[in-house]
Structure 1
Amino acid sequence: MPAAPPAGVDEGFDLVEEGARLILRHMMRQVEPALDDMRRDLGTALAEWEPALRQLAALAGDIANYEAPEMLPNGDIIIRRKRPFYGPAAPGPNGEIDL
C-alpha cells in the first residue's frame, strides 16, 4: 500500500494549480484584443473570398477524388485526380471477357 503524501503536499499542489490559472487568465487578457482584431479581419476576408471559394469547391468536387499532394523535383506541387474504379469487366454473351 503506498504511503500517504506528507502533510501540506495537497495544499502545495492547490497553490500551483491556482498560480497556473492566474497566469493563463493574465495571458488571455493580454491576447484578447489581438484575437478580437483577428476574428474581425478574418471574417471580412472570408466574406470577400466566399464567392471564389464556392466556385473552386464546385469545380474541384469532393476532396476524396484526389490523391495526396506530391512535390516534383523542380519544386512544383501537383494534386492528381484519383482514377475511378469501374470494377471487373462483365462477361460478354458467350462468357468471354475483353482484356
Structure 2
Amino acid sequence: MKTLKACVLSVGLCLSAAGASAEEESGRSLMAEGMELFFKGLQDEIAPTLDGFTAMMEEIGPGLQGFLEEMGPKLGAVFSKVEDWSSYHAPEMLPNGDIIMRKKTPEEMGQPQEDEATGGIEL
C-alpha cells in the first residue's frame, strides 16, 4: 500500500512540475489546475484508508507470512484438486477447532439426483 501511496504522490508531483513549467510559459492552464486538484482530492480521500490498511498489515503481517510459509504448499495441493469451488459450502469451524468444507448435495447444486438402484439419473 505504501507503493500505491508513493505512486499517487509521484503522479501529483509530476503534474505539479508540468503545471509549473506551463505556468512559466503562458500562465497556468485550467486542465493542469484541474488535474492537480483532482489528484490532491484523491490523495486526501485515500490517505486515511491507506493508513488504516498499513497499520492492519503491520499488525497481522508477521502471522500471515508464517501461515503462508507453512500452509501455502498444502493449500496449493488442495486448490489443484478442486475443480469447482461453487460445489462446496463456505468453510466452517467446529467446536473442537477443526475447519471443514462440506460438499453441497445434488439438491443444493440444483442437479438431477442419480438413482442408486439403476445407476442412472432420475427424471
Larger helix percent: 2
> What band does the TM-score fall into relative to the shorter chain?
0.3 to 0.5
TM-score by length of 1: 0.44
Bigger Rg, which one: 1
